[in-house]
Amino acid sequence: MSFSSMYVSFMASARLILLFAAYATTVPMVHAQVDTFEFQTAEQQQRFRQLSDELRCPMCQNTNLSGSSGGVAEDLRREIHRMILEGMTNTEIERFMFERYGDFIFYKPRLRMETLFLWFGPLIFLLIGGAAAIVVSRKAGETEKRNPRLDNAQREKLQALLKAKG
Listed ranges 16-24, 26-34, 53-61, 152-160: which one lies at the site for another protein (CB under 8 A): 53-61
Beta bridge partners of 106: 55
| Site for another protein, residues 33 to 52, rule: CB under 8 A | none
Number of residues that bind another protein (CB under 8 A): 18
Question: In sequence order, which residues have a C-beta less than 8 Å from that of residue 80 and are 6 or more positions away?
Answer: 48, 51, 52, 55, 65, 93
Q: Which of residues 59-118 bind another protein (CB under 8 A)?
A: 59, 61, 70-72, 75-76, 78-79, 98-102, 104
Backbone angles phi, psi at 56, to 5 degrees: -100, 145
Is the Cβ of residue 139 or residue 157 nearer to another protein in the bound state? 139
Q: Quick one: 58 or 67, whose CB is closer to another protein?
A: 58
Direct distance between the N- and C-terminal alpha carbons of the chain, in angstroms, rounded to an integer: 60
Rg of the Cα atoms in the chain: 31
> For binding to another protein (CB under 8 A), which residues are involved?
58-59, 61, 70-72, 75-76, 78-79, 98-102, 104, 128, 132
